[in-house]
Chains A and B, each alone.
Chain A
């Protein structure tokens, strides 16, 4: 998924505490927010943005390219299906703790409708200087600034640290793609790496992975054929096996999903794997960027 300053956005759950807080942050950044939804609150406004009961209703006057979800876990499936049926092309699925079977239903509908989904349990997407959709601190000048490094991260907090290190070294980002911490995701690491590989504004890719699952190994097979340099960091390499580290997906069990297997696969694919986020910028600079 990629966004630009021309994309129109509908905020689902706009009247909530977080929905309204982040709507203001996104709008201040320049993201084109055209409508919000909140069941039973159609007709109100939030910061001058019209609120509707559903995306379907909002779409009659304010069709949107992108929907962003600030809705509670058990309401997320219906909200996402509403957005898909109303014709959005991209969904930024921020909600955490959504039942996996609900997620699978949303992803099946999205696939059939040609709708891209980022998440769930993602921190969102930032294209510095253009737009931000989600809950990343795009507005912080020491974290994000326009540049040519593309970042893929499962985690929002760690993604922020990595973005901070990139800007601290005098570089900037072409895009930040938060893919989410759940085991079942609309956009996988591989999907995001492919997007950045094809993105003309991106010269190099930083892959921020973590223990659990097999997404980094899957991406490694593609990375071995890439021309753009890739720098990777895998979080959780010191984690004890058998203990879930916060993210539902972050667990090493039965020897699967451990950090060393990911490091090996990425190193063999030609990526530079660093031990700490503070080493990422130095690993990027030999490429002259």
Chain B
């Protein structure tokens, strides 16, 4: 769950990190009024949950309130990095002396929090990392004890940051770590962290992402973020989210219902391998395995679907429970597309018996055969294939 810049900056300010003076505007007049209050040069920034907004044309400077209004007019409603801009942040432009980079993130290699710092901030940190890796400083943190006193200052000395900025930057790093822990972030990134010509250390941008697994114990954050919908989410994808499932709509014709992320990805790979195109990613693994009925409704609500592939490999997810859900949905919806089953693992005998008795079909012994048949049916299918006959494999 990625926060917008202004949402993240609010958290930074609460944690004691300086941010530029500014406000959010939803219309050009509002942007103009904010610029008038701020006086002087301002920056108008699109509020979309994507990086590199500057390069994408989503950040404009303005020297007068009228210009700020024009900038807001240009940005609002436009598309930046795939998102429609509905808000802009209008801030007083900072007099920058130097630009730093600072981040805390979850590091799979050290299995703990990692501080990333560079005196070459302001630009694309991936590029800095690729071209001059020596400019990136890393400090692995023991999550049980936190950032030890003096550790940040020592690293900053190595990075060539001199007093008086060093002490202030070190204090900011401590506050960023405190925030990272407090809000269960998987990333708190400030780029640039600016040292101004008058010696202040100010967060000019903010990229904060919250661990999805921790949302239940961070109710206040959910309030801040609200129910934001990505611009490229389709109505079906939103329905999936409402059901607590991740549904991704793809371009193809073979509808997919499988359990577990690994098996579902593999099912999509196999459909591609045999010359077909999957219509969706939807997995009902984990605790969602009891939700096969609503899941199938979702897959079949996609008008592009011309054949359906049901691929279950039960470990934790019991194939008999999932198949019962599919059979129920099938009897209720009586869809006009052919369906192909491959069922293995926990509960497979009961599951196969269900398909035989209630649908009069025979699941395939081999997943590849089921995939091939579903691909073939989608390619030639008119949407009127005989459901009962099409599932017979042997």
Show the binding face of A for B, using Cβ within 8 Å: 18, 73-74, 94, 96-101, 104-105, 107-109, 111, 123, 135-137, 140, 142-143, 153-161, 164, 181, 183-186, 188, 208, 210-211, 213-215, 233, 235-240, 243-248, 250, 254, 275-278
Q: When the two chains form their complex, are residues A235 and B265 in contact, meaning their CB atoms are under 8 A apart?
A: yes
Q: When the two chains form their complex, are residues B265 and A239 in contact, meaning their CB atoms are under 8 A apart?
A: yes
| Chain B nearest CB, measured from A239 CB (Å) | 6
Given contacts A155-B260, A156-B260, A184-B108, contact A250 B265 (CB under 8 A): yes
Can you give 15 A-B contacts (C-beta < 8 A)? A96-B286, A99-B214, A100-B186, A109-B144, A142-B344, A155-B260, A157-B314, A158-B265, A184-B107, A213-B108, A244-B246, A245-B248, A250-B265, A276-B270, A278-B368
Which residues in window 165-215 of B have CB below 8 A to A? 181, 184, 186, 211-214
Q: When the two chains form their complex, are residues A235 and B216 in contact, meaning their CB atoms are under 8 A apart?
A: no
Contacts of A276 in B (CB 8 A): 266, 269-270, 273, 368
- Residue in contact with A99 in the complex, picked from B213, B261, B278, B314, CB distance below 8 Å: B213
Tell me, yes or no, whether B338 is within 8 Å of chain A by CB: no
Contacts of B260 in A (CB 8 A): 155-158, 246
Q: When the two chains form their complex, are residues A245 and B315 in contact, meaning their CB atoms are under 8 A apart?
A: no
Q: Once the chains are docked, how many angstroms separate the CA of A262 from the CA of B181?
A: 32
Extra pairs beyond A238-B271, A246-B262, A278-B366 (15, CB < 8 Å): A73-B213, A100-B186, A111-B111, A140-B348, A159-B315, A164-B313, A236-B269, A239-B265, A243-B248, A246-B260, A246-B265, A275-B273, A276-B269, A276-B270, A276-B273
Q: When the two chains form their complex, are residues A161 and B212 in contact, meaning their CB atoms are under 8 A apart?
A: no
Q: When the two chains form their complex, are residues B316 and A135 in contact, meaning their CB atoms are under 8 A apart?
A: yes
Contacts of B387 in A (CB 8 A): none
Contacts of B111 in A (CB 8 A): 104, 107-108, 111, 184, 186
B residues contacting the other copy or chain, number (CB 8 A)? 54
Tell me, yes or no, whether B250 is within 8 Å of chain A by CB: yes
Contacts of B47 in A (CB 8 A): none
Q: When the two chains form their complex, are residues A246 and B313 in contact, meaning their CB atoms are under 8 A apart?
A: no
Q: Which residue of B lies closest to A256 (CB)?
A: B126
Q: When the two chains form their complex, are residues B184 and A160 in contact, meaning their CB atoms are under 8 A apart?
A: no
Q: Once the chains are docked, how many angstroms separate the CA of A190 from the CA of B126?
A: 25
Q: Which residue of A lies closest to B181 (CB)?
A: A101
Contacts of A74 in B (CB 8 A): 216-217
Q: Once the chains are docked, how many angstroms separate the CA of A142 from the CA of B142?
A: 45
Which residues in window 216-240 of B have CB below 8 A to A? 216-217
Q: Once the chains are docked, how many angstroms separate the CA of A158 from the CA of B269?
A: 12
Contacts of B262 in A (CB 8 A): 153-159, 181, 208, 210, 235, 246-247
Q: When the two chains form their complex, are residues B266 and A235 in contact, meaning their CB atoms are under 8 A apart?
A: yes
Q: When the two chains form their complex, are residues A158 and B263 in contact, meaning their CB atoms are under 8 A apart?
A: yes
Given contacts A159-B262, A246-B283, contact A239 B268 (CB under 8 A): yes
Contacts of B313 in A (CB 8 A): 157-158, 160-161, 164
Q: Once the chains are docked, how many angstroms separate the CA of A254 from the CA of B142?
A: 28
Q: When the two chains form their complex, are residues B106 and A137 in contact, meaning their CB atoms are under 8 A apart?
A: no
Q: When the two chains form their complex, are residues B246 and A101 in contact, meaning their CB atoms are under 8 A apart?
A: no
Given contacts A155-B260, A277-B266, contact A143 B181 (CB under 8 A): no
Q: Which residue of A lies closest to B347 (CB)?
A: A137
Q: Once the chains are docked, how many angstroms separate the CA of A249 from the CA of B368?
A: 26
Interface of B is mostly: mixed
| Chain A nearest CB, measured from B63 CB (Å) | 34
Q: When the two chains form their complex, are residues B269 and A137 in contact, meaning their CB atoms are under 8 A apart?
A: no
Interface centre among B142, B181, B212, B313 (most CB of A within 10 A): B313
Q: Which residue of A lies closest to B287 (CB)?
A: A96
Q: When the two chains form their complex, are residues A245 and B265 in contact, meaning their CB atoms are under 8 A apart?
A: yes
Contacts of A211 in B (CB 8 A): 265
Q: When the two chains form their complex, are residues B345 and A137 in contact, meaning their CB atoms are under 8 A apart?
A: yes
Q: When the two chains form their complex, are residues A99 and B266 in contact, meaning their CB atoms are under 8 A apart?
A: no
Q: Once the chains are docked, how many angstroms separate the CA of A123 from the CA of B107?
A: 23
Tell me, yes or no, whether B259 is within 8 Å of chain A by CB: yes
Tell me, yes or no, whether B293 is within 8 Å of chain A by CB: no
Contacts of B270 in A (CB 8 A): 276
Q: Once the chains are docked, how many angstroms separate the CA of A99 from the CA of B313?
A: 27
Interface centre among B217, B262, B265, B286 (most CB of A within 10 A): B262
Contacts of A109 in B (CB 8 A): 144
Q: When the two chains form their complex, are residues A99 and B273 in contact, meaning their CB atoms are under 8 A apart?
A: no
Q: Once the chains are docked, how many angstroms separate the CA of A253 from the CA of B307?
A: 31
Interface centre among A143, A160, A214 (most CB of B within 10 A): A160
| Chain A nearest CB, measured from B5 CB (Å) | 19
Q: Once the chains are docked, how many angstroms separate the CA of A71 from the CA of B14?
A: 34
Tell me, yes or no, whether B113 is within 8 Å of chain A by CB: yes
| Chain B nearest CB, measured from A210 CB (Å) | 6
Q: When the two chains form their complex, are residues B314 and A160 in contact, meaning their CB atoms are under 8 A apart?
A: yes
Contacts of A136 in B (CB 8 A): 315
Tell me, yes or no, whether B143 is within 8 Å of chain A by CB: yes
Which residues in window 122-168 of B have CB below 8 A to A? 126, 142-144
Q: Once the chains are docked, how many angstroms separate the CA of A96 from the CA of B345?
A: 20
- Residue in contact with A161 in the complex, picked from B246, B271, B367, CB distance below 8 Å: B367
| Chain B nearest CB, measured from A195 CB (Å) | 17
Q: When the two chains form their complex, are residues A156 and B217 in contact, meaning their CB atoms are under 8 A apart?
A: no
| Chain A nearest CB, measured from B111 CB (Å) | 5
Contacts of B112 in A (CB 8 A): 104, 107-108
Q: When the two chains form their complex, are residues A99 and B113 in contact, meaning their CB atoms are under 8 A apart?
A: no
Q: Once the chains are docked, how many angstroms separate the CA of A181 from the CA of B314?
A: 16
Tell me, yes or no, whether B85 is within 8 Å of chain A by CB: no
Given contacts A135-B316, A278-B368, contact A157 B263 (CB under 8 A): yes
Query: Top 10 nearest A-B pairs by Cβ distance?
Result: A155-B262, A157-B260, A246-B261, A158-B262, A157-B263, A156-B315, A99-B214, A236-B265, A135-B316, A235-B265
Contacts of A142 in B (CB 8 A): 344
Q: Once the chains are docked, how many angstroms separate the CA of A272 from the CA of B213?
A: 36
Tell me, yes or no, whether B67 is within 8 Å of chain A by CB: no
- Residue in contact with A157 in the complex, picked from B258, B271, B273, CB distance below 8 Å: B258
Given contacts A104-B106, A107-B111, A159-B262, contact A164 B344 (CB under 8 A): yes
| Chain B nearest CB, measured from A192 CB (Å) | 15
Contacts of B314 in A (CB 8 A): 137, 157, 160
- Residue in contact with B346 in the complex, picked from A100, A140, A153, A184, CB distance below 8 Å: A140
Q: When the two chains form their complex, are residues B367 and A278 in contact, meaning their CB atoms are under 8 A apart?
A: yes
